Amino acid sequence: MAFAAPPAWAQSTSTTAPLPYPKRKNTKPKTTTPAPAQPQAQPEKTPGQPAAPKADPKEEAEARRYVACLDSAKNSPAVALQSAESWKNSGGGPPALHCSAIALFEMKRYQEAALRFESLAEATPKRDVKMGALEQASQAWFLAGRPDMAEKQLDTALALRPGDPDLLTDRGIFRANLGRLPEAIGDWTEALKKAPDRDDVLALRATALRKTNQPDAARADADRAVAINPKNVDALLERGTLRQMAGDTGGAMEDWNAVKSLAPDSNAAQTAGTNLARAAAAAPK
80, burial (CB in 10 Å: exposed 0-12, middle 13-18, buried 19+): buried
The answer to the question of residue 130 being in a domain is no
The answer to the question of residue 281 being in a domain is yes
235, 199 in Cβ contact below 8 A?
yes
Band of residue 49 on the pLDDT scale cut at 50, 70, 90: low
Other C-beta atoms closer than 10 Å to the C-beta of 149 total 20
Return the pLDDT at 28: 52
Phi, psi angles (nearest 5°) of residue 18: -80, 155
Mean pLDDT (whole number) for 238-250: 97
The answer to the question of residue 1 being in a domain is no
Return the pLDDT at 4: 30
- Specify the range with the lowest mean pLDDT, choosing from 28-42, 54-68, 131-145, 168-182: 28-42
Band of residue 27 on the pLDDT scale cut at 50, 70, 90: very low
The answer to the question of residue 249 being in a domain is yes
Band of residue 63 on the pLDDT scale cut at 50, 70, 90: confident
Band of residue 59 on the pLDDT scale cut at 50, 70, 90: confident
76, burial (CB in 10 Å: exposed 0-12, middle 13-18, buried 19+): middle
Q: Where are the alpha helices (DSSP H) in 13-162?
A: 57-75, 77-89, 93-106, 110-123, 127-143, 147-160
* Separation in Å, CA 124 to CA 36, 127, 134, 212: 13, 8, 11, 41
Which pTM does this prediction carry? Answer: 0.75
Band of residue 282 on the pLDDT scale cut at 50, 70, 90: confident
115, 142 in Cβ contact below 8 A?
no
The answer to the question of residue 48 being in a domain is no
Give residue 219's Cα distance to chain centre: 24
Mean pLDDT (whole number) for 156-179: 94
User: How many domains does the structure of the chain reveal?
Assistant: 1
Band of residue 29 on the pLDDT scale cut at 50, 70, 90: low
The answer to the question of residue 16 being in a domain is no
> Is the model's pLDDT at 44 over the cut of 70?
no
Give the domain CATH number at 206.
1.25.40.10
> Is the model's pLDDT at 1 over the cut of 50?
no
**∠ Cα 24 28 32 (to 5°):** 105
> Is the model's pLDDT at 162 over the cut of 70?
yes
* Cα–Cα dist 26/194, whole Å: 19
- Specify the range with the lowest mean pLDDT, choosing from 21-35, 140-154, 268-282: 21-35
Other C-beta atoms closer than 10 Å to the C-beta of 25 total 7
143, 124 in Cβ contact below 8 A?
no
Return the pLDDT at 201: 98
Mean pLDDT (whole number) for 5-10: 32
3-class state of residue 50 by DSSP: coil
Return the pLDDT at 61: 82
Residue 242 belongs to domain spanning: 199-285
The answer to the question of residue 121 being in a domain is no
- Specify the range with the lowest mean pLDDT, choosing from 13-17, 114-118, 151-155, 213-217: 13-17
3-class state of residue 14 by DSSP: coil
132, 28 in Cβ contact below 8 A?
no
- If you average pLDDT over every residue of the chain, what do you get? 84
> Is the model's pLDDT at 267 over the cut of 90?
yes
The answer to the question of residue 19 being in a domain is no
